[in-house]
């Protein structure tokens, strides 16, 4: 049986929601061939692309990357 885009509607929707509702400075995609989610930073700083098997894992990675990029208080 051949793959059909409609089989991944939930994953495409999860990627869209991550980008539009939670991370507007990231371009979030679902990769049907790899079965992974990808995020590309759209800001002025170079950030390596991220990937994860689930939207929750990708969300955690994006948030961790944001925390690491912020200057630490008291330094």
Q: What stretches of the chain show up as alpha helix (H) in DSSP?
A: 9-17, 55-69
Residue with the two structure tokens 């790899």 = 34
* 2-60 pLDDT tens trace: 667 788 999 999 999 999 999 999 999 999 999 999 999 998 889 999 999 999 999 99
Q: Say what the pLDDT of residue 74 is.
A: 53
Domain residue ranges of the chain, discontinuous segments joined by +:
9-69
Q: Is the pLDDT of residue 72 over 70?
A: no
Phi, psi (rounded to 5 degrees) for 33 = -70, -35
Q: Are 18 and 59 in contact (CB under 8 A)?
A: yes
Q: Say what the pLDDT of residue 68 is.
A: 80
- Cα–Cα distance measured from residue 39 to residue 8, given in angstroms and rounded to the nearest whole number: 17
Q: Say what the pLDDT of residue 73 is.
A: 53
């Amino acid at each position: 049986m051949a793959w059909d885009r409609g089989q991944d509607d939930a994953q495409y929707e999860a990627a869209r929601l991550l980008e539009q509702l939670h991370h507007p400075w990231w371009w979030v995609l679902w990769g049907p061939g790899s079965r992974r989610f990808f995020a590309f930073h759209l800001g002025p700083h170079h950030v390596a692309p991220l990937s994860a098997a689930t939207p929750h894992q990708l969300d955690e990675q994006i948030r961790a990357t944001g925390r690491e990029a912020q200057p630490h208080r008291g330094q």
